[in-house]
């Protein structure tokens, strides 16, 4: 497939590399800031532009990996007839692309992607399309870049995006709060690395609720009280600690 990528951020970069690595060809990168477009295009060895008006109309697939808000602006500047166009967002309806082409859909990577990192074919892709033919096209293309391709409606994708935010973004925020606490209290956050790993590995084979540990699930009021007293100088962390403790206690 000949692919145009619109966007030059995390998803555009990771998808672009996977596309080129798997026998397709990225033929153009378009991004609002032309220097960002150039940087990704140089890596993918293709032309670039800073304007949707200059889109290469000879591609087979157009992947739009821009911020969610920018997707709603796209139809003002962009029309490609019947070419396949896909967005990569978890919480945006596929119909956002309906005025751009008659064949549109979604290829949503269910993974936390950072352009600085290398990824292989193990990123789950949730796909969708506006017709059975389009879904088949998207699925066939997606299977060439990922071992895990699943069809998901707008509603299913939105629900999985909510779950993704909870398991990834929220846990990462908790790590950030814990790291800040450790730094201020002069203890080594890095000592927690095996615990972080074990917690993530364990839930691959067990239901998380069944392997919950800690003072809240044991109803250990004495320890909880000690922790809360230590957190008196950390109002934000104390608030989160209390809310999560309450949630764990409710089972
Ligand atoms: N990162 C993830 O883990 C992840 C995972 C799954 C899905 N997604 C979804 O993939 C999409 C892209 O995410 P990302 O992480 O790649 O974002 P990102 O790294 O922040 O990149 C955002 C891109 O959107 C462009 N952009 C921003 N505002 C724009 C505007 N008003 N008009 C035109 N272009 C604009 C930027 O272009 P310039 O740089 O040229 O300004 C940049 O290329 C989002 O829908 C996101 O929800 C992200």
**Alpha-carbon span 246 to 227, nearest angstrom:** 14
Atom of ligand 1 nearest to the CA of 50: 40
Atom of ligand 1 nearest to the CA of 66: 24
**Alpha-carbon span 1 to 101, nearest angstrom:** 18
Beta strands in the chain (DSSP E): 2-6, 25-30, 48-49, 61-64, 84-87, 104-109, 125-129, 149-151
Two tokens at 173? 């925020």
Does 10 sit in the ligand 1 pocket, CB within 6 Å?
yes
Query: Looking at residue 87, what is its pLDDT?
Result: 98
Query: Looking at residue 74, what is its pLDDT?
Result: 87
Query: Looking at residue 127, what is its pLDDT?
Result: 98
pTM for this model (two decimals): 0.95
**Which residue's alpha carbon is nearest to atom 15 within ligand 1?**
10
* pLDDT tens, the chain, 251 aa long: 999 999 999 999 999 999 999 999 999 999 999 999 999 999 999 999 999 999 999 999 999 999 999 999 987 778 898 999 999 999 999 999 999 999 999 999 999 999 999 888 789 999 999 999 999 999 999 999 999 999 999 999 999 999 999 999 999 999 999 999 999 999 999 999 999 999 999 999 999 999 999 999 999 999 999 999 999 999 999 999 999 999 999 98
Q: Which residue has the tokens 């026998």?
A: 23
| CB burial of residue 104 (10 Å; 0-12, 13-18, 19+) | buried
Cα of 9 to ligand 1 centre, how many Å? Answer: 5
Note whether 33 and 16 are within 8 A (CB).
Answer: no
Residues across the chain: 251
Which of 66, 71, 127 is the pocket-test mutation for ligand 1 (most atoms within 8 Å of CB)? 66
Partners of 236 in the β-ladder: none
Atom of ligand 1 nearest to the CA of 68: 45
Does 172 sit in the ligand 1 pocket, CB within 6 Å?
no
Query: Looking at residue 76, what is its pLDDT?
Result: 76
For domain 158-249, the question of CATH label 1.10.1040.20 is answered with: yes
**Alpha-carbon span 112 to 14, nearest angstrom:** 11
Does 109 sit in the ligand 1 pocket, CB within 6 Å?
yes
For domain 2-152, the question of CATH label 3.30.2000.10 is answered with: no
**Alpha-carbon span 99 to 80, nearest angstrom:** 9
Atom of ligand 1 nearest to the CA of 91: 47
User: Domain map of the chain by residue range?
Assistant: 2-152, 158-249
**Pure H helices in 88-234:** 132-143, 154-164, 171-184, 193-205, 221-230
Does 96 sit in the ligand 1 pocket, CB within 6 Å?
no
């Amino acid at each position: 497939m000949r692919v145009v990528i619109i966007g030059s951020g995390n998803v555009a970069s990771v998808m672009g590399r996977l596309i080129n690595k798997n026998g397709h060809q990225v033929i153009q990168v378009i991004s609002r800031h032309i220097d960002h477009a150039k940087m990704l295009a140089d890596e993918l060895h293709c032309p670039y532009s800073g304007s949707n008006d200059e889109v290469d109309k000879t591609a087979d697939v157009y992947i739009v990996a821009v911020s969610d808000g920018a997707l709603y602006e796209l139809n003002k500047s962009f029309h490609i007839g019947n070419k396949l166009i896909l967005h990569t967002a978890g919480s945006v309806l596929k119909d956002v692309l309906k005025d751009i082409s008659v064949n549109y859909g979604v290829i949503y990577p269910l993974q936390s992607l950072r352009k600085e990192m290398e990824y292989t074919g193990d990123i789950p892709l949730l796909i969708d399309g506006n017709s059975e033919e389009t879904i088949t096209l998207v699925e066939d293309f997606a299977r060439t870049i990922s071992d895990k391709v699943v069809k998901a409606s707008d509603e299913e994708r939105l629900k999985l995006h909510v779950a993704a935010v909870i398991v990834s973004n929220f846990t990462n925020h908790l790590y950030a709060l814990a790291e800040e606490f450790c730094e201020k209290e002069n203890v080594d956050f890095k000592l927690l690395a095996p615990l972080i790993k074990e917690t993530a590995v364990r839930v691959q084979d067990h239901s998380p609720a069944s392997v919950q540990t800690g003072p809240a699930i044991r109803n250990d009021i004495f320890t909880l009280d000690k922790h809360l007293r230590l957190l008196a100088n950390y109002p934000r962390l104390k608030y989160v600690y209390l809310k999560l403790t309450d949630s764990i206690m409710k089972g």
